Amino acid sequence: MLSPVVSTATGMELPRYNPLPVVRSAPHSPYGLPIVDNCRTCKLRNESFFCGLSKPTLEALEPIKHATSYPEGAIVFVEGQVPRGVYVLCQGRVKLMTTNSDGKSFILKIAQPGEILGLHSVMNGEPSELTVETLQPSQLTFIGREDFLRFLKTHGDACLHAAQHLSRDCVSAYEVIRSIGLSHSASEKLARLLLQWSADGQAINGQVRLKLALTHEEIAQLIGTSRETVTRMLGDFRKKRILELTGSTLLIHNLAELERLAAC
């Protein structure tokens, strides 16, 4: 499931890729993450997928799930791997990507907490279509394939959530294809992506400030271009006083010009 779509100045709805938040460290816990091992008492609960299930369904989930913490840059599963089960992202962020025979990668989405990973492969019994890698320290809950399928058969609300999840995945994939395929240039695609991120930034005196915790290579993989092209375009945007990137802090000086570039 991609994050909810947002509208740009062009009127086109595009998938939102939220800038990555800083994970607050917790002492004496794996990779500095606060320990969360019970869905019923989890303070991070929200309305997404398993977090939004009924109390009886959550109680049935507890015996079949296994929570594990991962460091930044860890591979959860790889493209072509036979699915062992599904993973629910409890904390952190992960990227879902695919790679061609030449080794070129494309990031299809950045998953948010509450999302379930590997659902398509588990449901149809086919090898995984994507590779999942953590972008920051993360906690994921694993549920084995057979246990998960039995769980869906006996709990209608979980089955409905799974169907809704698959539907959202499909719609979001269409949006990715549309945003990449209908853009006329790499600068237009980058401008649209930065506009999406600006919606979550902090507006100060007509400027927008936000944290950008992705490398140039990862940004390139999100918009289907090369790292060199992203670096060059960001340099051009800086020279034109459209934006300024210092470390992981992105400061957009001229939002109107960025909207104009996105509408080209």
Q: Nearest Cα to 223, choosing from 200, 197, 189?
A: 189
How is domain 3-181 classified at the architecture level of CATH? Sandwich (2.60)
Q: Which part of the chain has CATH 2.60.120.10?
A: 3-181, 186-262
Q: Look up the pTM and report it.
A: 0.74
* Cα distance between residue 93 and residue 110, in whole Å: 7
**What is residue 78's predicted lDDT score, i.e. its pLDDT?**
95
What pLDDT was estimated at residue 99?
86
> What was the pLDDT predicted at 18?
52
Q: What CA–CA distance (Å, rounded) separates 27 from 15?
A: 35
The SS3 call for residue 136 is coil
Q: Note down pLDDT in tens along the chain; length 264 residues.
A: 334 444 444 444 444 445 544 444 444 567 777 767 777 777 666 666 667 788 899 899 999 999 999 999 999 999 999 999 999 998 899 999 998 877 788 888 888 888 999 999 999 999 999 999 999 999 999 999 999 999 999 999 999 989 988 998 888 888 777 777 766 788 988 998 888 888 878 888 888 998 887 889 999 988 888 999 999 999 999 999 999 988 888 999 999 999 888 886
Q: What is the pLDDT of residue 45?
A: 67
8 A C-beta contact, residue 176 and residue 108: yes
What's the pLDDT at 1? 37
Select 186-262's CATH number: 3.40.50.2300, 2.60.120.10, 3.20.20.140, 3.10.20.70.
2.60.120.10
Contact of 233 with 186, CB cutoff 8 Å: yes
CB-CB contact of 198 with 17 (8 Å): no
pLDDT of residue 150: 96
Helix (H) or strand (E) holding 148: helix 145-154
Q: How far apart, in whole angstroms, are the C-alpha atoms of residue 86 and residue 108?
A: 18
